[in-house]
Structure 1
C-alpha cells in the first residue's frame, strides 16, 4: 500500500503512460472539458488542490523538460502568485504564449489533471524530458 507521494490511482496510471516528449496538462477548476484526452478530475473544492500542489508532487518522480503557460497569467495574478509559480517551476524552461495558442496544445496531450485551482490562467502544460 502506498503511504506517501501521489496516492490517487488514476493520476498514477496517467503519469505512468507519459513517455519522452509527451505532454500533460494540469488545469484549474474552470478549464474546458476536452473529450479528445483523458481527464482525471481531482478537484475537491475551490482551491483544493491547486495546480502547484499537483506540480510539486509530480516533479520529484517526473522529469519535466519544458513548461507552457498562457502569457495572460502575468496580467491577471498578483506578484506573490507569479513568484510562487516561478519557485515551483525552478530552472525548468518556461514558454508563455497567448491563451488561444496554449489551448491548441491541449488536444495533443496524453491527459489532463483538473484541480480546484481558482487562479486565472494558472493552467500549465508539462512536456516530459
Structure 2
C-alpha cells in the first residue's frame, strides 16, 4: 500500500503511461470533456483540490520538461497567484500562449486531470521530459 507521495491509483496509472514529450493536462473544474482523451476527475468541491496542489503532487513524482499555460492567466490573476505558479515550476521551461493555441494542444494529450479549481485560466499542460 502506498503511504507517501501520490496515492491516487488512476493518476499513478496515467502518469506511468506518459512518455517522452507526451502532454498531461491539469484542468480547472469547468474544463470541457474531450472525446478520446482519458479524464480523471479529482474535483471534490469548488476550489478543492486546486490546479497548483495537483501540479505539486504530480511534479514531485514525474519529470517535466516544459509547462504550457495560457497568456490569459497573466491577465486574470494577481501577483500572488502568479508567484505561486512560478514557485511550483521553478527550473522548468514555461511557455505562455493564447488560450486558443492552448486548447488546440489538448486533443493530443495523454490525459486530463480535472480539479476543483475555480481561478481564471488555471489550466496547465505539463510536457514530459
Q: Distance in 1 between matches of 2:119 and 2:83?
A: 13
SS of the residue 1:73 aligns to:
helix
Q: Distance in 1 between matches of 2:48 and 2:4?
A: 18
* Pairing 1:102-121 to 2, within 5 Å after superposition: 102-121=102-121
SS of the residue 1:69 aligns to:
strand
Moved runs in structure 1, 4+ residues, more than 4 A? Answer: none
The equivalent of 1:45 in structure 2 is 45
* Pairing 1:114-129 to 2, within 5 Å after superposition: 114-129=114-129
Q: Post-superposition shift, 1:69?
A: 0.4
Structure 2: state its 5+ residue gaps. none
Q: Distance in 2 between matches of 1:92 and 1:99?
A: 20
* Pairing 1:1-129 to 2, within 5 Å after superposition: 1-129=1-129
Q: Distance in 2 between matches of 1:10 and 1:102?
A: 24
SS of the residue 2:7 aligns to:
coil
How well do the aligned residues superpose, as a CA RMSD in angstroms? 0.7
SS of the residue 1:102 aligns to:
helix
TM-score (norm 1): 0.98
